[in-house]
Chains A and B, each alone.
Chain A
Amino acid sequence: MRVMFQLNGKAVEVNVEPRMHLADCLRDELRQTGTHLGCEHGVCGACTVIIDGAAVRSCLMLAVQAEGCTVVTVEGLSTDDALTPLQTAFRKHHALQCGFCTPGMLTTAHALLTEEPDADADRIRAALSGNLCRCTGYIPIVEAVLEARAAYQKTDKP
């Protein structure tokens, strides 16, 4: 089946089996391998992408269901030039070790802070509770997201 959607700001078109999930489509058809597969049954969160502004587990979405959607993956969070404030905070706080869960952490945190730039530590932990990490013990990840909030808070409110 033919599917068309926006990926990281560009229009893309693929031809996939209905049973292919969006994560495999991104990784194999579109060669964006930053989105990772840790379980394929919707628990670990490593496959999180942002669909129409909302964080979504891409292993729990069929590629064909992405028709007409705006999809942002970890690759779309930064340009080639520099790390975003969120990514910089992750590095500073050593919020990643093996790096496998990191794309899902970044997309989830980005979606959260975009909607809720004042999220406190409890809210951040709750929102990240669907992203499993085996290396860091989470504390540095939460610290990084807390620090990154400043970049999402608009200083000049209308």
Chain B
Amino acid sequence: MKPAPFEYQAPATLREAIDLLVSDPEATVIAGGQSLIPVLAFRLAAPSMLVDLRRVPGLGNIAVGESGVRLGARVRWRDIEHDRRLATGHPLLREGIVHVAHYQIRNRGTVGGSLAHADPAAELPGIAVTCDAEITLVGAAGARTIHSGEFFTGPLSTVRQADEIITELHLPFWPEHRRWAFQEFAQRQGDFALAGIALFYDQDRHGRVRDAHVGVIGACNRPQRLRKVETLLNGHAVDEDLIRKAAAAAAQTIDPPEDLHAGAAYRRALVATLVGRSLRAAAQPRGS
């Protein structure tokens, strides 16, 4: 399964990379290649040129601070796993990344690549959307920042223009006492999730849910927040009754795809199960 022929460039700056994309509309960006190369191997795409970001500086940083977590587009899953600051800096991100693919993939796959590929079952897009993260892109017209909730438009589809390169993902600051959970279900570990839930909430002084964020992957055609479920949770204490209601609402609100692995009814039930288990897990006290 060899790809169709293409040219290859590894420019030294972001500007040069963008210029290459502008000059050749059939060119495409490559970073880790873990999602792109299989697509090329199956000849599902035949770009004229690959523009490799491997030499472009400044895209590989992880910054953790008061403004939140900033991940450069070339940050790899491995880098996230090894960054101790993220245990408290963004535990939801850290937990989600554990589920990405396999050991070898995690050594090469990147933040930017995952966002650009936009698989509806991928973990990072789901976490980004759940957390109101912002995505920065740079193109011929300059830089722009898009809210992740508007970035993904469908399976493998985003608002990124052909000349734009993702440079950064910015996750808002994660406060210390936040409750959270990440649960996904795949047939085998590392497979694409049949469904996954990322959620978090804060609590008011009575222990009731405040500012709930519940995001789903794999059971919809793009990652999204389940607003109905969030509304149901906000203002209430989490008990078994609330969990049951939230799970049922989640199952009912999604519009799951059918594919050769699972039908819609199953995905709905799975989402309900995962929402329930996530809420129970989030309610548990966590070790430091």
Contact = CB atoms under 8 A, between A and B. Distances in A.
Contacts, number: 87
B2 interface: yes
B37 A42 contact: yes
A158 to B, nearest CB: 20
A82 interface: no
Given A42-B37, A130-B102, A55 B5 contact: no
Interface in A54-96: 54-57, 59-62, 64-65, 67
Contacts of B2: 19-21, 24, 40
Interface size class of A (residues with CB under 8 A): 20 to 34
Interface stretch (B103-111, B136-144, B159-167, B218-226): B103-111
B101 A56 contact: no
Interface in A1-31: 1, 17-21, 24
Nearest to B5: A19
Contacts of B188: 129
A35 interface: no
A129 B191 CA distance: 10
A41 interface: yes
A48 interface: yes
Contacts of B4: 19
B37 A64 contact: no
Contacts of A130: 101-105, 190
Contact of B104 (A17, A21, A57): A57
A119 to B, nearest CB: 11
Contacts of A102: none
A62 B33 contact: yes
Contact of B107 (A18, A42, A54, A129): A54
A65 B105 contact: no
A112 B102 CA distance: 13
A129 B260 CA distance: 23
In the A-B complex, list the 3 residue pairs whose CB atoms are closest, starting with the nearest.
A130-B102, A18-B8, A54-B107
Given A55-B107, A56-B108, A128-B103, 20 more contacts: A18-B5, A19-B3, A19-B5, A24-B2, A54-B107, A56-B107, A57-B105, A61-B33, A61-B37, A61-B108, A62-B30, A64-B8, A64-B52, A65-B30, A129-B103, A129-B189, A129-B190, A130-B101, A130-B102, A130-B190
